[in-house]
Amino acid sequence: MKTIQAYRFALDLTPAQERAVLAHAGAARVAYNWSLARVKAVMDQRAAERTYGIPDGQLTPTVSWTLPGLRKAWNAAKDDVAPWWAECSKEAFNTGLDALARALKNWADSRSGKRTGRHVGFPRFKSRRRSTPCVRFTTGTIRVEAGRKHVVLPRLGRLKLHESSRKLARRLEAGTARIMSATLRRDGGRWHVAFTVEVERADRVPARPGSVVGVDVGIKHLAVLSTGELVDNPRHLNAAHQRMRRLGRALSRKTGPDRRTGQRPSKRWRRAANRLGRAHARVANLRRDGLHKLTTRLTQEHGTIVAEDLNVTGMLANRRLARHIADAGFAEFRRQLEYKTAWNGGQLLVADRWYPSSKTCSGCGTVKAKLALSERTYTCQACGLILDRDANAARNLAALAAEWHTAGSGPVAARGADQKTRSGGQVAKKREPGTAPAGQTGTVPPQGRTTFQACALKRSER
């Protein structure tokens, strides 16, 4: 199975090498800003001409937004715009032009409705101080040296790695990987190089192919599994919050930049900003490491994983829980599960956003009309089940896998598009007495629950 995978390594650059990399990143920013100014000037001119009543056929000619068109215009004007262009690799300018072409396409597709999701605004100019330095190389000499502690990039030469690149080097030596591009980026005061690699991965099978596990994510526990396992939420941001506040106050006391007066930041302000940036980067690294370990373990052990399609953007509107929700990384958890299940030969089933996993009784299938967020223990008035709220939701998610296989439908289980929960529940096809729900073991009494077939019927009737 061929996949596109990234390998990211930290770099140890000398001062001269760091200046060279910054020069390339600055060249990308210059090409981006010049091309954006050119596109914006033509758009403004055409808008002004329309107000004068000029026909569309006589308006100022449009400029191409594609990468080849932007590159052609840049090559014609680079001697006047950037006389120093020969000091940097052509890939630096191509990085900025490619970023602008993608941004303009996303904006146009968002306006026309071709792009789903959140609205994409018109591209803005990149600031030297606020933008993240980044440059990408797609051609030229890109290789990992035999010692596995150095990489070679065009015009930058031999760069020392902070860690060994043995994982990538072994694949390259075996001929099961091919480097497609290399991206340099400064993150948290440290430079990293990320290789985009086409990898030939061996077919894998989970340790328990027939195992089904429902995963309910939350704040108190990062994940509650239908097997009964509770994964604690480390809350890295909350642990570092006091230190970040102290570093933020120290930064505010320094002389920072002022765009209105043209004041440049002091050296102490720069050092304080770097300390705060490193603190944020450490929290992000800890969160990423924990999520990778958890998702890798789940995808390697279980053949089928059932998760929820959460409205994270809407959840962040709660000002009391927004910081804790963002610290948990729900979206990143779901993203990692998607590609790791494919790598390990499993499958990921996603429950519909409006499926009442928390309101449904995992014992009898009764659905509560209301369930306050403060109620952490689920109590069923019909069958008397008393269970932790998150554990109940995880069991309901695991049961959806069996219903999906029975219905033979797609991997999304739902109860319909309406957002109101009906009270009383809907009793569906019964399981055989003495059998356990999917993802559980043991003997349980006969139970019923809302099935995927009923949901599909509701949709067809609409």
Contact 448, 427 (CB under 8 A): yes
Nearest 5°: CA angle at 103, between 338 and 120? 75
Handedness of CA 72, 77, 81, 85 (dihedral sign): positive
pLDDT given for residue 384 in this prediction? 85
Distances (CA, A) of 220 to 214, 228, 440: 17, 15, 23
Q: Using the predicted structure, report yes or no on whether residue 22 has a pLDDT greater than 90.
A: yes
The residue-averaged pLDDT of 169-188 equals: 94
pLDDT in tens, 233-292: 999 999 999 999 999 999 999 999 888 898 999 999 999 999 999 999 999 999 999 999
Annotation says 309 is catalytic: no
58 DSSP 8-state letter:
G
Least confident of 17-31, 39-53, 212-226, 440-454: 440-454
Catalytic pick from 216, 327, 352, 403? 216
pTM value is: 0.81
The residue-averaged pLDDT of 80-95 equals: 95
pLDDT given for residue 452 in this prediction? 35
What residue ranges do the domains of the chain occupy?
2-14+134-200, 22-112, 208-233+280-461
Q: Using the predicted structure, report yes or no on whether residue 418 has a pLDDT greater than 60.
A: no
Q: Within 10 Å of residue 325's Cβ, how many Cβ atoms? A: 19
| CA atoms of 21 and 8, how far apart (whole Å) | 17
Annotation says 12 is catalytic: no
pLDDT given for residue 409 in this prediction? 53
| CA atoms of 22 and 135, how far apart (whole Å) | 9
| Most distant CA atoms of the chain, gap in Å | 82
Burial of 93 by CB count in 10 Å (0-12 exposed, 13-18 middle, 19+ buried)?
Answer: buried
pLDDT averaged over every residue in the chain: 86
CA–chain centroid gap for 218, Å, is 18
| Residue with more model confidence, 455 or 86 | 86
Q: Which helix (H) or strand (E) holds 229?
A: none
Contact 354, 414 (CB under 8 A): yes
CA–chain centroid gap for 287, Å, is 13
Annotation says 390 is catalytic: yes
Handedness of CA 333, 130, 281, 16 (dihedral sign): positive
Amino acid of residue 407: A
Q: Using the predicted structure, report yes or no on whether residue 399 has a pLDDT greater than 60.
A: yes
pLDDT in tens, 124-150: 999 988 899 999 999 999 999 989 999
pLDDT given for residue 406 in this prediction? 65
Contact 330, 312 (CB under 8 A): yes
Cross-sheet strand order for the sheet of 208-217: 230-232, 221-225, 208-217, 302-308, 347-351, 412-413
The residue-averaged pLDDT of 340-363 equals: 90
pLDDT given for residue 153 in this prediction? 96
Contacts of 143 (CB under 8 A, 6+ apart): 151, 152, 179
Burial of 4 by CB count in 10 Å (0-12 exposed, 13-18 middle, 19+ buried)?
Answer: exposed
Helix axis angle for 90-112 and 67-81, nearest 10°, is 130
Q: Using the predicted structure, report yes or no on whether residue 446 has a pLDDT greater than 90.
A: no
| CA atoms of 13 and 277, how far apart (whole Å) | 18
Contact 355, 414 (CB under 8 A): yes
Catalytic pick from 91, 98, 187, 308? 308
Catalytic pick from 91, 187, 390, 403? 390
Contact 419, 336 (CB under 8 A): no
Contact 383, 444 (CB under 8 A): no
pLDDT in tens, 205-223: 999 998 999 999 999 999 9
The residue-averaged pLDDT of 431-457 equals: 35
pLDDT given for residue 70 in this prediction? 96
Q: Using the predicted structure, report yes or no on whether residue 38 has a pLDDT greater than 90.
A: yes
Q: Which helix (H) or strand (E) holds 154?
A: none
| CA atoms of 105 and 64, how far apart (whole Å) | 11
